[in-house]
Structure 1
Amino acid sequence: MILQTGQRTDIPAFYGQWLINRVHQGFVDVRNPYNLLQITRYPINHDVVDGIAFCTKNPLPFIPLLKEINDYRQFWHMTITPYGPDIEPYVPKVDSVIDGFKQISTRLNPQSMVWRYDPIILTHNYTIDFHFESFYNMAKALEGYTDTVVVSFLDIFDKVAQNFPEGFRPSVDVQHNLIKELISIAHSCNMDLKTCGEGDTFKALGANTEGCLTLECYERAWNVSLKAPKRAPARPECNCYLHGDIGAYDSCSHFCRYCYANTNQAAVRHNRMLHDPNSSLLIGPLPKTAIIKESTEKSWIIDTNYKQETLF
């Protein structure tokens, strides 16, 4: 199985020691977001866990801990966007995150690293030309450290509408013009541009619409062949293989305005106070009345001599 860490919160940025403790203990407990007493217990060992998938905006606090998981395959999605504190209040400066990206890529390989430039938000400050210049500068800085960049436009989920009421998706024409230029820049820096959650909308422009976190991504990065249980897509326009995230909603302190995983800042601060790095759960202690279901996940690797050509 793939241990997923990043659809609900940013574990490398805020909960790195907790994750390392769980690896050492050999298991992790995860609450059902809709039934807090229902717990799934995932084993963490090399017989079951084929690799660990991360999604972060700030890898820097976790880099000193990487030596603790050197023997686990890793796959990183790292969001690096050009917004200021009006949009991303507590995300570090771009140069710092890029430096962290390069450090991890050097330890792994470029195929295990994905740069996310999403969501694309347009305002008076963040204009189309601003995005072209920012994307170009970042792509040049990351050239050779990844061969994949993922982009998307803002999705107005309920929590996004509540926390970012002025957010919107640009017109179809503007979207096409943006994507066309970003594809050109990405290709000039030896990167494949993928779109996230946009279906096949931009396929004719040259975007890769096959999914930004598919089993094939892991296979290419780790040179293995995987056979995983069938899963329903997270949403109709998404081709990614997502399941079993070990994080928790309302626990990320970046406080990005466009976040779909936080209800509000008060809920996050409350949960952060309940966090114990020695607990089997990310937030709070394991309740005595918890109903624990042992995961029956197994290794998905069927061939370690797998070969596949790189994208370029």
Structure 2
Amino acid sequence: MIINTGNRTDIPAYFSDWFYNRIKEGYVYARNPYYPSQVTKYRLSPDVVDCICFCTKNPEPIISRLGELKGFSQFWFVTITPYDKDIEPNVPNKEKVMESFKKLSPIIGLEKITWRYDPIFISEKYSLNSHIENFGKIATSLSGYTQECIISFVDLYEKTKRNFHGVREVSKEEREIIAKEFVTIGNKNNIKIKTCAEGYELSKFGVDCSGCMTQPVLERAIHSNLKVPKKKGSRESCDCLLGNDIGMYNTCYHGCLYCYANYSKDIVRDNFRKHNKNSPFLIGDSMEGDIVKEAIQHSYIDNQISFF
């Protein structure tokens, strides 16, 4: 099975000690975000976990202890955008994140790390031309350290519009210009440009629109073929393997204005106060009325088929 850590929060940036404690203990509890009393217990063992997937804006806090993940396969997304503190208040300086990216890549392997440049929005400060210029600078820096870059455009969820006043969607014309320019830059730096859940309108410009964390992507990362049970994707036009997440909403302290995973700063601060690095839960501990069910876990690796 696949264990995800990054759909709801940024575990490497803020909860690395807790995460390594969970690896040491060999299990983790994850609350259902919509029915909190429903708790899933996941066993964290390489014999049932085929890959641990990370998504972070700051991998540095977790890198020094990666040896503790021996036996586990990994796949990483690292998000690096051109936005300043007005948009991403608590994200480290981009130069530092790029250095962490370049430190992480040779440790885990080029095929296991992908750069994310998302979400893209247009404003007076972050104009179309500034995106093209900044994308080129980051791509040049990361050339040779990744093979892919995922781009996406801002989604105006209600909580996003509430927290990010004045933001607007990227027009069709702007999306097409970005696609053409980014593909050109990507080709110069041996970085394939990909989208996820954005439809297929940009494929005519050379963008790979097949998805970001699909089965073929993970098979390449773990060097094995997978036999994954069929189930409906979490979003329309999305074939990514996004289930089995051990994170929790309203726990990411980056404070990005476009974030869909945080409802309010006050809730995030309150949750941080409840965090205990020794608890099997990311936030808090067991509560009266909890219904704990062990996940049905087994390896998806298909031993009958050799990888490529």
Q: How does 1:10-159 map to 2 (within 5 A)?
A: 10-159=10-159
Q: Give me the CA root mean square deviation.
A: 1.2
**In the TM superposition, what whole-angstrom CA distance separates every residue of 1:76-104 from its partner, at most 9, and x where no partner exists?**
00000010011000000111111111111
Aligned to 2:259: 259
Name the amino acid aligned to 1:167. V
Q: Does 1:229 align with 2:229?
A: yes
Q: CA deviation at 1:164?
A: 0.7
3-state SS of paired residue (1:197): coil
In 2, distance between residues paired with 1:107 and 1:74?
A: 11
| Counterpart contact for 1:224–1:304, Cα < 8 Å | no
Name the amino acid aligned to 1:141. S
4+ runs of 1 displaced by more than 4 Å? none
Aligned to 1:193: 193
Aligned pairs, how many? 308
Aligned to 2:242: 242
3-state SS of paired residue (1:35): coil
In 2, distance between residues paired with 1:271 and 1:8?
A: 13
Q: Does 1:289 align with 2:295?
A: no
In 2, distance between residues paired with 1:119 and 1:186?
A: 18
3-state SS of paired residue (1:75): strand
Name the amino acid aligned to 2:211. G
**168-177 vs 270-279, which moves further:** 168-177
Q: CA deviation at 1:39?
A: 0.3
Aligned to 1:173: 173
Structure 2 stretches of 5 or more lacking a match? Answer: none
Q: CA deviation at 1:153?
A: 0.7
In 1, distance between residues paired with 2:45 and 2:20?
A: 12
3-state SS of paired residue (2:39): strand
Name the amino acid aligned to 1:295. A
Structure 1 stretches of 5 or more lacking a match? Answer: none
Q: CA deviation at 1:37?
A: 0.9
Q: CA deviation at 1:305?
A: 7.1
Q: Residues 13 and 304 of structure 1: is their aligned pair in 2 closer, same or farther, counting only changes over 3 Å?
A: farther
| Counterpart contact for 2:196–2:210, Cα < 8 Å | no
Give the TM-score normalised by the residue count of structure 2. 0.97
Q: CA deviation at 1:165?
A: 2.5
Q: CA deviation at 1:192?
A: 0.9
Q: CA deviation at 1:241?
A: 1.6
Q: CA deviation at 1:129?
A: 1.4
| Counterpart contact for 2:2–2:241, Cα < 8 Å | no
Name the amino acid aligned to 2:32. N
| Percent identity of paired positions between Structure 1 and Structure 2 | 41
Give the TM-score normalised by the residue count of structure 1. 0.96
